[in-house]
Structure 1
Amino acid sequence: MRLPKWSRSFGVQVTIALIAGVILGLIARSWGPVSEDQDNWLGTTLDTIGSSYVTLLKAAVVPLVITAIIASIGNLRKVTNAARLAVSTLLWFAFTALIAVLIGLILGVVIQPGMHADATSLSGSAPDSEGSWIGFLTGLVPVNFLGLEVGTSADEAGGLVSEVDFNILQLIIVSGAIGIAAVKVGKAAEPFLQFTEAALAVVQKVVWWIVRIAPIGTLGLIGNAVNSYGWSTMGSLLWFVVAVYVGLAIVFFVVYPTLAKLNGLSVRQYFSGVWPAAQMGFVSRSSIGTMPVTQKVATDNFGVPQSYAAFAVPFGATTKMDGCAAIYPAIAAVFVAQFFGIDLTIVQYFLIVFVSVIGSAATAGTTGATVMLTLTLSTLGLPLEGVGLLLAIEPIVDMGRTALNVSGQALIPAIVAKRHGILDEVRYDSDRIDGYVPVDEDADESVLAGSSAEGSDEAELEQPSGGTRA
């Protein structure tokens, strides 16, 4: 039996999975755990599906970042204004972060979430790991060639368990150094750069397969979130959650569309184009995990040249965090100060702005923003126990934060490309089918359409930029 056409739409499949996840999560929560430390079979199944999907996404991050950055730097050697593109991207990231943190501060002062919190129902302790400027700076130094971090811990049975994780900032630094070195070597490094581009195409194909099963992952992630936290978790933190989501909504529905409009981009096309990335960010809670989709949105939907997007999107996935590193820490800092009866000074408000704009990379693109919040609180001299107060609703606000993060990570490269005269405006204004603008069948259905193209994108980049602006 052939499924109806509408049911084969990727967007429809994810939406159905969202609804089904909420329903199954509520059912699992109503059943309750089997014992104090064991969930029922449905809850366990949802958790396993969701965590497995995020693990799959993260597994593709290391090869994707390495090949994408090296290949993008190799492509940028053919661009006369590469340095200006990089500087413009960084300035726009900082500018939008400034707007976001100011909105967060205003909402924190106006809504006063800390004054509405019930002190008798909340308790918190200092986090196990704290963010600091020294820790952030030393964390930039690669510990090994791939920026991998290996840790060993004891399990419940007393055995040793080894875990391998990666530091995305170190990974970017290592990959960037290799890419720059390859460009400096010149002609002798051409085979290496060609191999990297071919490897990138292969990795993109694998990542696209992972993206296509997103509805399954969505069902597990949303179902587990509802089962674990339910609707009552917000409790006395309801006003804090409201303040955060109002801030996220203002940036997503007002600030970003306004910036798009001011730069000659269609607001309607922005919303329809960014939706796949925002949707994936909401359910995965990871900018890095969503990066393949964000990159596809930037190139396929927004018409950002591949050679520029391959640099801007990975860079944005670690430094462009308007949700996690601007709105959230601003409102959270005001909340903690109000909760503990501390009056913030003008200097401290300026410090919140400074930390949010400069320290965004401390979030490192992974799930959660605890490091960024502890960095902010420690800079202000506020009690770190405030972090513990907010852990209960962390997953609830993190979904919205990440959706905003990835939306900005896709939009800003489009704005920069438009201002530099290299944006494919025909593609930006094209109709989306199944969430994306259709790509040439010969270009492969990879996550980064046209990744190895030596024609349109590069030729477009080599055109004189005329009245190029920052």
Structure 2
Amino acid sequence: MENYAVFAIVSLAAILLAGIGYFHLHKFSFTKLVFISLALGVVFGFGIQFIYGATGKITTNAIDWINIVGNGYIALLQMLIIPLIFVSLVGAFTKLKVSQNLRRISFSVLSTLLITTAIAAFIGILSVFAFHLQGASFINGAPDKANLAILKQHQSQLTGLTLPQQIVSFLPVNIFADFAGTRATSTISVVIFSLFVGVAFLYVRKNNPEPAKTFADFIEALHQIVSRIVHLVLQLTPYGIFALMAKATATDSIEAIGNLGIFIIAAYAALLVVLIVHTIILVANKVNPVVYYKKVWPALIFAFTSRTSAGTLPLNVQIQEKSLGIDSAIANFAASFGLTIGQNGCAGVYPAMIATIIAPTVGINVVSVQWVLTLIAVVTISSFGVAGVGGGSTFTTLMVLGTLNLPITIMGVIIAIDPIVDMARTLVNVNDSIVAGVVTARQTKSLDTDTLADSTKIVESVI
């Protein structure tokens, strides 16, 4: 009987996926198709949970089959992270017209990302105070053993390392191992290596133009190949989103969501305030927020539904260049750095909230100025190296908790509803990287205001 039920659920999922495929083949609007897939996945998942329960054997087995699509989609996105970062960052150097601009561009992008992360951390702390979450008394129930085991496995990679030692771990020791993603800090290591390659290229271009041109042509060819692979993978987005949302809503119990509902509301409130801060920065840089959000909306929606900053990178860069009038080199720097440094949602708001919730359980006065400033500093420094895929915030948060000697047990409860919060976190991450591009383009006087003002120049998709 159980096998028949599993077969029926998987068959229905296949029919729904086929329906999505039908609309996809008939050139249905990609943004609308993503929303439809999201809605179908949510309804389908909750339907499974309502009939068979969140932890029932039928639910578990059926979702295991359905999630071949979801896990496969995430695996393909993770496959692209390292190549994307390398070709985008090195490509940014090859596209720099004047080497002297490198310092100004890098400083502007990094300072924008890190300053907004510090602000986001402060907002996360205030959100905990506003919703009275400090002390974690709002949580009912013990942490899930499986989730706790995953957290401890991640934590083992940081055991015995001080914050300075953790920073040193960002440096590449064996770049081929980091290209293979063998460490939790492999992403930031590849970023650092790419920067070295880029700086070396500028030196060679100045002193020996011919080999530099050959290398630049190679990087451009590699960039086009990687971009084409990205296009192929992103065509799977509606199907991946359906499967991922079906899994999240079928296996995250309604009771757990209800118990942690106040945390979800507090997190979304904090992330909304961060977006308001981004808007203020845009206004300060003489950018019309209405025009801006109309143009970046496709990237934000993609980030929200896919939960991956890395997967949004190609669309992020295209929107900066073609819709906002940002120089290609700046767009690549801002989008690439934004994948691994200073993510406002995953590396700013979230770890600050978790630490402030947990700290009172070990006797820390979280309303003291010393605690607030210490936490903001630790969060900002730890924001280096966060991975641009779903779950990257877990490692960053564990780094913060480990540095402050805070327990992780309560996090094992909160992680149960992580996908719900992660959607908004990823949206904020991507928006911050685009804002960094706008600010840098304005400061370097390279922002094409005609393109920015042209309401017809909107990039909806890279597909």
TM-score by length of 1: 0.82
2:453 aligned partner: 429
> Quick one: distance in 2 between partners of 1:80 and 1:171?
23
Counterpart check, 1:63 vs 2:83? yes
1:244 aligned partner: 267
SS in 1 for 2:248: helix
Identity of aligned residues (%): 25
> Quick one: distance in 2 between partners of 1:324 and 1:198?
33
What's the CA shift for 1:36? 5.9
Which of 376, 390, 399 pairs up with 1:375? 399
Instruction: Kindly indicate whether the alpha-carbon contact (under 8 Å) linking 1:136 and 1:362 is maintained by their aligned counterparts in 2.
Output: no
Q: Using the TM superposition, name which of 93-102 and 381-390 deviates more.
A: 381-390
Counterpart check, 1:210 vs 2:233? yes
> Quick one: distance in 2 between partners of 1:275 and 1:42?
34
> Quick one: distance in 1 between partners of 2:266 and 2:362?
18
Matches within 5 A, 1:307-318: 307-318=329-340
What's the CA shift for 1:45? 4.3
Q: Deviations over 1:347-376 (max 9, x none)?
A: 221111101222211423232212222222
Count of residue pairs brought into register by the alignment: 425
Tell me, which stretches of 5 or more residues in structure 1 are unaligned? Answer: 152-163, 438-444, 448-470
Q: Using the TM superposition, name which of 235-244 and 314-323 deviates more.
A: 235-244
Counterpart check, 1:44 vs 2:64? yes
Structure 1 residues 323, 415: closer, same or farther in 2, change over 3 A?
same
Counterpart check, 1:15 vs 2:38? no
> Quick one: distance in 2 between partners of 1:311 and 1:422?
14
Counterpart check, 1:283 vs 2:305? yes
Tell me, which stretches of 5 or more residues in structure 2 are unaligned? Answer: 1-21
Q: Which has the higher helix share?
A: 2
Structure 1 residues 138, 229: closer, same or farther in 2, change over 3 A?
same
Matches within 5 A, 1:253-402: 254-339=276-361, 342-344=364-366, 345-368=368-391, 369-402=393-426
> Quick one: distance in 2 between partners of 1:14 and 1:326?
27
Instruction: Kindly indicate whether the alpha-carbon contact (under 8 Å) linking 2:315 and 2:462 is maintained by their aligned counterparts in 1.
Output: no
Q: Deviations over 1:279-323 (max 9, x none)?
A: 222233222232222222222222211122122211111003101
Which of 152, 170, 176 pairs up with 1:127? 152
Q: Deviations over 1:249-304 (max 9, x none)?
A: 1112x111221112111111222222222222223322223222222222222221
2:220 aligned partner: 197
What's the CA shift for 1:244? 0.9
Structure 1 residues 396, 270: closer, same or farther in 2, change over 3 A?
same
Structure 1 residues 31, 341: closer, same or farther in 2, change over 3 A?
farther
1:222 aligned partner: 245
1:169 aligned partner: 188
Structure 1 residues 76, 191: closer, same or farther in 2, change over 3 A?
same
Structure 1 residues 355, 40: closer, same or farther in 2, change over 3 A?
closer
Structure 1 residues 194, 101: closer, same or farther in 2, change over 3 A?
same
1:234 aligned partner: 257
Structure 1 residues 207, 397: closer, same or farther in 2, change over 3 A?
same
Q: Deviations over 1:3-31 (max 9, x none)?
A: 89997222111111111111111223234
Counterpart check, 1:142 vs 2:165? no
> Quick one: distance in 2 between partners of 1:387 and 1:216?
30
Q: Deviations over 1:81-131 (max 9, x none)?
A: 221111111111122112211111111122121456356523475622234
Amino acid at match of 1:143: N
> Quick one: distance in 1 between partners of 2:111 and 2:185?
27
> Quick one: distance in 2 between partners of 1:247 and 1:198?
42
2:9 aligned partner: none
Instruction: Kindly indicate whether the alpha-carbon contact (under 8 Å) linking 1:148 and 1:166 is maintained by their aligned counterparts in 2.
Output: no
Matches within 5 A, 1:447-462: none
| RMSD of aligned Cα (Å) | 3.0
What's the CA shift for 1:61? 2.3
2:105 aligned partner: 85
What's the CA shift for 1:200? 0.7
1:455 aligned partner: none
Amino acid at match of 1:243: A
> Quick one: distance in 2 between partners of 1:165 and 1:349?
27
Counterpart check, 1:110 vs 2:106? no
Amino acid at match of 2:197: I
Structure 1 residues 260, 231: closer, same or farther in 2, change over 3 A?
farther
Structure 1 residues 250, 17: closer, same or farther in 2, change over 3 A?
same
Q: Using the TM superposition, name which of 384-393 and 336-345 deviates more.
A: 336-345
Instruction: Kindly indicate whether the alpha-carbon contact (under 8 Å) linking 2:136 and 2:358 is maintained by their aligned counterparts in 1.
Output: no
Structure 1 residues 318, 147: closer, same or farther in 2, change over 3 A?
same
Structure 1 residues 45, 294: closer, same or farther in 2, change over 3 A?
farther
Instruction: Kindly indicate whether the alpha-carbon contact (under 8 Å) linking 1:142 and 1:171 is maintained by their aligned counterparts in 2.
Output: no
Structure 1 residues 136, 284: closer, same or farther in 2, change over 3 A?
farther
Structure 1 residues 382, 290: closer, same or farther in 2, change over 3 A?
same
